[in-house]
Amino acid sequence: MARIGVLTGGGDCPGLNAVIRAIVRKGIDHHGHDFVGFRYGWAGVLSAEAVPLTLDSTRGILHRGGTILGSSRTNVYKEADGFERVRASLDTLGVDALIPIGGEDTLGVARRLSEDGLNVVGVPKTIDNDLAGTDFTFGFQTAVQIATDAIDRLHTTAESHNRVMVCEVMGRHAGWIAVHSGIAGGADAILVPERPFDIEEVCNHLRRRHQNGRSFSIVVVSEGATPKDGDLITEHQTTDAFGHVRLGGIAVTLEKEIEQRTGYETRMTILGHVQRGGTPLAYDRVLGSRFGVAAIDAAAEGDFGKMVALRGTQIERVSLDEALAEPKLLDPELYETAAVFFG
Ligand code: F6P
């Protein structure tokens, strides 16, 4: 029997509670472990702020969005005596191993803690789907569905008013959400970080559509898309504890540029955190449950320094090193498929 600490770090994400519930259910019923949940990601580990996670406290949470543990973007290695404080907190609470559920940043801390000798098994979470080593992260499908529903609704106004509608989606420096929701929502142009765009080419494309008899267009833009001859366009100046600039707002610029250059009435919508909120799709509940079960099994076997991952239809274990070597960017073939429908 061991005591395991669970935490959720980074942006909240649909399916987090499914993972927590699965870890605790299998861990108690099958392995006889007991659990503490750290509050607010690595912040709670640093300050030893923890709550017991039991069968009772994890009941009825499967369908709930967000995380019952809370989350934050805390970098242990940016804090004074970060590693020592983590170790002291685990000692005080009698925690033998950690299961952090997070993206590149949260699992980046996990990898360093593992290198520094702690027992860690990671679970890949992010709506951005940009973690290597796994075909999908949980939360992504829900975000794509929310964005697709929004694009469907934007079609209404696009058609009624003969407008260009620009829809900005999240995804950081990867265009997965943009391309998936763009294909599903029938976008006429999709701008992604992996393919810097020329605004005049985008406008030419819209002009051609309109000359060919189309009266409206839908442009999906990823928050991290960049112009060929420029830098990231964001409305914000701030960076987080991992040095990432806060993205969002490229649609504001696109709205102005497209309307000025083409003369077509243009409106933009920034979906923002709507994409992370609300109940997870069945897919993410299932994937989260599978990840949770696989993570506690790995911890029970003492197979640390790993991340559970979806490979094809199977859940496997990959090293944290492999998962974090570089971000998983958009598959160019998928973009070409999306482009078939731009005409
Ligand atoms: O990584 C998930 C994500 O939603 C990104 O798509 C987005 O850029 C970022 O988090 C937003 O972070 P925050 O909630 O801290 O503003």
The DSSP symbol for 230 reads S
Residue type for position 217: S
Q: Is the CB of 247 under 6 A from ligand 1?
A: yes
The pLDDT of 46-63, averaged and rounded, is 98
Closest ligand 1 atom to the C-alpha of 171? 6
Coil/strand/helix, residue 22: helix
CA distance 198 to 191: 10
- CA nearest ligand 1 atom 16, residue: 246
CA distance 228 to 196: 5
* Tens-place pLDDT, residues 210-252: 999 999 999 999 999 999 998 889 999 899 999 999 999 999 9
What tokens does 263 get? 């003369």
Which residue of 128, 223, 235 sits with most ligand 1 atoms within 8 Å of its CB, as the best mutation to test the pocket? 128
Rg (CA), the chain: 21
Q: Is the CB of 11 under 6 A from ligand 1?
A: yes
Coil/strand/helix, residue 251: helix
11 CA from centroid of ligand 1 (Å): 6
Task: Indicate the pTM of the whole model.
Answer: 0.97
* Tens-place pLDDT, residues 85-131: 999 999 999 999 999 999 999 999 999 999 999 999 999 999 999 99
Residues 212/217/223/226 CA torsion (nearest 10 deg): 20
Position 231 scores a pLDDT of: 86
Position 4 scores a pLDDT of: 98
* Tens-place pLDDT, residues 27-36: 999 999 999 9
Which residue of 140, 247, 275 sits with most ligand 1 atoms within 8 Å of its CB, as the best mutation to test the pocket? 247
Burial status of residue 25 (CB atoms within 10 A of its CB: 0-12, 13-18, 19 or more):
middle
Position 341 scores a pLDDT of: 97
Q: Which residues are catalytic?
A: 128
* Tens-place pLDDT, residues 317-327: 999 999 999 99
Window from 15-24, 75-84, 227-236, 280-289 with minimum mean pLDDT: 227-236
Position 210 scores a pLDDT of: 94
Query: To the nearest whole number, what is the mean pLDDT of the chain?
Result: 97
Which residue of 105, 131, 222, 246 sits with most ligand 1 atoms within 8 Å of its CB, as the best mutation to test the pocket? 246
How far is the first Cα of the chain from the last one, in angstroms, to the nearest whole number?
Answer: 60
Who's near 13: CB < 8 A, 6+ residues apart? 67, 125, 126, 127, 138, 139, 276
Confidence of residue 69 (pLDDT cuts 50, 70, 90): very high
Closest ligand 1 atom to the C-alpha of 240? 15
CA distance 25 to 201: 54
Residue 258, pLDDT above cutoff 90: yes
* Tens-place pLDDT, residues 3-23: 999 999 999 999 999 999 999
Buried b (16+ CB within 10 A) or exposed e, 92-108: eeebebbbbbbbbbbbb
* Tens-place pLDDT, residues 128-166: 999 999 999 999 999 999 999 999 999 999 999 999 999
57 CA from centroid of ligand 1 (Å): 28
Output the DSSP codes for 260-307.
HHH---EEEEE-GGGGG-SPPPHHHHHHHHHHHHHHHHHHHHT--SEE
* pLDDT-above-90 percentage for the chain: 98
User: How far, in Å, are 41, 77, 176, 241 from residue 105 at the CA level?
Assistant: 11, 11, 18, 9
CA distance 215 to 223: 26
CA distance 343 to 330: 21
Q: Is the CB of 171 under 6 A from ligand 1?
A: yes
The residue written with tokens 């699965």 in the block is 22
The residue written with tokens 């605004």 in the block is 199
